[in-house]
Structure 1
Amino acid sequence: MSKFTCLCGSIISDSSDFESYKARYIADQDYYDFLDEYQQTITERQFHVFSRYTREIFQCSTCHNLIVFSKGERFDFNPLTLGADNLLLSRSGKNWKGMMSATFRQQSGEIYWQTNQEQGFRQHLSLSELKELYYRKFEELKTLNILRHAHLTINGVTEHQFDINTSKQE
């Protein structure tokens, strides 16, 4: 499933990971931290068993409706309490560690970053514009300690890479 429509008519996308409006009975933004933490001890079979028992939940950013997918069916729940937005946000709140990705191909570059404090997307950048924006945003997000991973790829070659789990920069 990549997109579906809420009862209010808003389109909800499920086309990437780390969504702030999606959970698997644990916040989607925390799901990969969970997997990283247990990666060394969990076997492939245990992972498949775990995945088999999780259910996906989405929250509409327009009407705050909760949509649960279970056993091939869809169930909608509309919160009765005012201020029930961001129910599926990471337990880390605004300090959730996000990601950044930048790619340059031939004559044009694009960059995307997402954290719970901000997100951005720029395209049609020259190589110098892309590098300047990438390294500036990288330092900013890393200094704020809200960056999980980042990479800069130029014409298929990785120029820079960062992963918080290994604190590795290339």
Structure 2
Amino acid sequence: MNFRRECGQIIHDTTDYLSYKGYLISDQDQFDLLDEIDDAIEKSGPSSTDKEEAAMRIRSLIGTLFKTVYQCSNCGNFFIDNNHPRLEMFRGVNPVNRNLLMSALGDKWKGFIFAEWKDKIPDWQTSNGILYNETNASSLTVRLDGNGKYSAWETLEQDYYKLFNELKNKNAIRYSHLKKNNTVIHSWSLKK
């Protein structure tokens, strides 16, 4: 889902782990969900198939009971997707906390970084390279030359490794990828 706000901000929902996206569950539904989780833990059979079926029941119920919520990072307004053809909007009171949907772990939430270079600029991009820092890490010391969009591979690669090293040292990432023309140049994942 993508939609433009009246303030001009475009909200994109094209990936996971978004800091401006969350989910609501009503108090009435929460206890049904907790009961289903209890049943899955206590009553699922011993086989891996039984456990998989129990997990899928919970995931299905979560998909049914939760409503998707977005918060505009520009104006702070909330938008609730109530499974209707339009979003319900709620305005905050000034000053608005624009990080209400951020992880409860705050800066300690482990996110990811992703960088990609294409020699031929795709129709949907305005530059050859992009670098996404999808973490909640604040007070970074690294200065990125490309500001997220790159016209030189060397600058993108350099900024990626600077950001990767700082975030890894802060224990702020779970995975990281650098691609050039669909070839993985660097990939790293936190060991579980």
Q: Calculate the TM-score normalised by the size of structure 1.
A: 0.71
The 1:132/1:24 distance shift into structure 2, 3 A limit, reads same
Q: Over residues 85-111 of structure 1, what are the superposed CA-to-partner deviations in whole Å (9 max), with x where a residue is unaligned?
A: 321111011222221112233475443
Q: Name the structure 2 match of 1:21.
A: 20
Letter in 1 for 2:90: F
The 1:142/1:79 distance shift into structure 2, 3 A limit, reads same
- Structure 2 portions without partners, runs of 5+: 26-50, 121-127, 139-143
Tell me how far apart the structure 2 counterparts of residues 138 and 151 of structure 1 sit (CA, whole Å): 9
Q: Name the structure 1 match of 2:103.
A: 90
Q: Name the structure 2 match of 1:122.
A: 149
Letter in 1 for 2:136: N
The 1:143/1:76 distance shift into structure 2, 3 A limit, reads same
The 1:103/1:46 distance shift into structure 2, 3 A limit, reads same
CA contact 1:3–1:15 (8 Å) conserved in 2: no
Q: Over residues 27-84 of structure 1, what are the superposed CA-to-partner deviations in whole Å (9 max), with x where a residue is unaligned?
A: xxxxxxxxxxxxx866334322221221111122333222211131532222346443
1:138-149 correspondence to structure 2 within 5 Å? 138-149=164-175
Letter in 2 for 1:142: K
RMSD, matched Cα: 2.9
The structure in which a higher percent of residues are strand is 1
Letter in 1 for 2:89: D
Q: Name the structure 1 match of 2:5.
A: 5
Q: Identity over the aligned pairs, expressed in percent? A: 29
Q: Which has the larger radius of gyration?
A: 2
Aligned length: 151
CA contact 1:65–1:78 (8 Å) conserved in 2: yes
Tell me how far apart the structure 2 counterparts of residues 103 and 62 of structure 1 sit (CA, whole Å): 26
Moved over 4 A (4+): none
The structure in which a higher percent of residues are helix is 2
Q: Name the structure 2 match of 1:111.
A: 131
Deviation, 1:19, is: 2.0
Tell me how far apart the structure 1 counterparts of residues 98 and 156 of structure 2 sit (CA, whole Å): 34
The 1:104/1:59 distance shift into structure 2, 3 A limit, reads closer
| Mapped pair 1:65 → 2:74 | no
Letter in 2 for 1:2: N
Letter in 1 for 2:76: H
The 1:81/1:155 distance shift into structure 2, 3 A limit, reads closer
The 1:82/1:131 distance shift into structure 2, 3 A limit, reads closer
The 1:49/1:116 distance shift into structure 2, 3 A limit, reads same
